[in-house]
Amino acid sequence: MPVSSPACVVGLGYVGLPLAVALAEAGVPVVGYDVSTARVAELQDGSSGIEDVADEATRTPGLTFTADVCDLEACQTYVLCVPTPLREGMPDLGAVEAASRAVASVLSAGDLVVLESTTYPGTTEEVVGPLLDAGSGLVAGRDYLLAYSPERIDPGNPTYGIGNTPKVVGGMDDASTKAAVRFYETVCDTVVQVDGTREAEMAKLLENTFRHVNIALVNEMAVFCRELDIDLWQVIEAAKTKPFGFMPFYPGPGVGGHCIPVDPSYLSWRVRKMGFTFRFVELAQEINAQMPSYTVARLGDLLNDAGIALSRSRVLCLGAAYKPGVADCRESPSIEVMRQLRRKGVTVAYADPFVPDLVLDTERLAAVPLSDLGAYDAVLVLTPHAGFDLELVRREATLVLDTRAALAPGENVYRL
């Protein structure tokens, strides 16, 4: 298959759009497909809506956008980059199934289909393949090629992007693997080949479960280190001087985003279906899920020490997104902290240059400027965007609870 053959990227969010742009920049004709006509119109108007993709990149030669599946018929490679959220603790493959049916309607013999959406081992061959077969009349591995390659997008990361992040690829057979490797070599410096789709699916889950478990470890240590009057951040800095056998992780108000809080649950769910329990994951989920409540309790203690009742306090929360430098609020612990504060009677305001407004329960809040800090009883640092003037916060805020160690501790600055 020539690398210049037309490709389709299905799903134009944080994963799909950067890939579509990278392929077009490499000279591959690309059709970006999304079921949202509003999203397609936004892109056609030259607005990427994603911090990592400049608006002008939407006009890269060879890149077009559509919400009409009929426009995909000339494509020979299809990459599915659609969301895979949890619904009531169970994997929701609705978007993957819908994308598979859409591609099946235009699939031709010899085409390559790659799933990038994070999911449990077996999804590519047990869910996507049968849907493609049923809708196209073709057979995976005989008439068309089928592979899995986990997305490794880290929104807001200025160092690692699609080109210099190694790409893991596994096909349902040797021909599928080789075709997927050739395809990704057009945009990735390094392509890592594994034996099959299940190995590639499991690799992504291992990566994020590793992070999830280790974040839970330091979150739990943060709780009892405070009781022991030990500076955990100093402990971590000392431990990471060891040149082997240690990797630093840091505590915070919880975990957020589209990967860490969700992906380990896919693996845990799959393991439970086999009659086992994944105790590491379940314990990590329990610990990390408690961190917003711990953050609220810690703030309540600090305010109480200052003679202020939490229920009558005014608190400014810095950062609503789940990580610095992005607008993504999916599973953001900042949102949960704000929600819990409001339920305790706190008057909550928030500042975030990337999130102009948000809905807490049923009320819409607008972001406020980082000013008049003395009007608040406390400032809660949740997501330290680079644009925040944290020294101003240190100077003017009466009390600061810094959940991310963005400021050095001081007489008015406290950590978890």
Q: Going by C-beta distance under 8 Å and a sequence separation of 6 or more, which residues neighbour residue 10?
A: 16, 33, 34, 78, 79, 80, 81, 82, 99, 102, 103
Which pLDDT value is given to residue 1?
A: 43
Which pLDDT value is given to residue 2?
A: 43
Q: What is the spatial distance between Cα 108 and Cα 145, in angstroms, rounded to a whole number? A: 10
- Structural domains of the chain, ranges and CATH numbers in brackets: 7-195 (3.40.50.720), 211-415 (3.40.50.720)
User: What is the three-class DSSP state of 287?
Assistant: helix
pLDDT tens track for 172-202: 999 999 999 999 999 999 999 999 999 999 9
Which pLDDT value is given to residue 87?
A: 82
Structure token pair of residue 258? 């589209």
Which pLDDT value is given to residue 273?
A: 81
The residues of the chain scoring below 70 in pLDDT are 1-4
pTM of the entire predicted model: 0.91
Which pLDDT value is given to residue 4?
A: 64
pLDDT tens track for 208-267: 999 999 999 999 999 999 999 999 999 999 999 999 999 999 999 999 887 777 878 877
CB 401 within 8 A of CB 341: no
Q: If phi over 0 gives left and psi between -120 and 50 gives alpha, with beta otherwise, what is residue 325?
A: left
Positions marked active-site: 259
Q: What is the spatial distance between Cα 346 and Cα 380, in angstroms, rounded to a whole number? A: 12
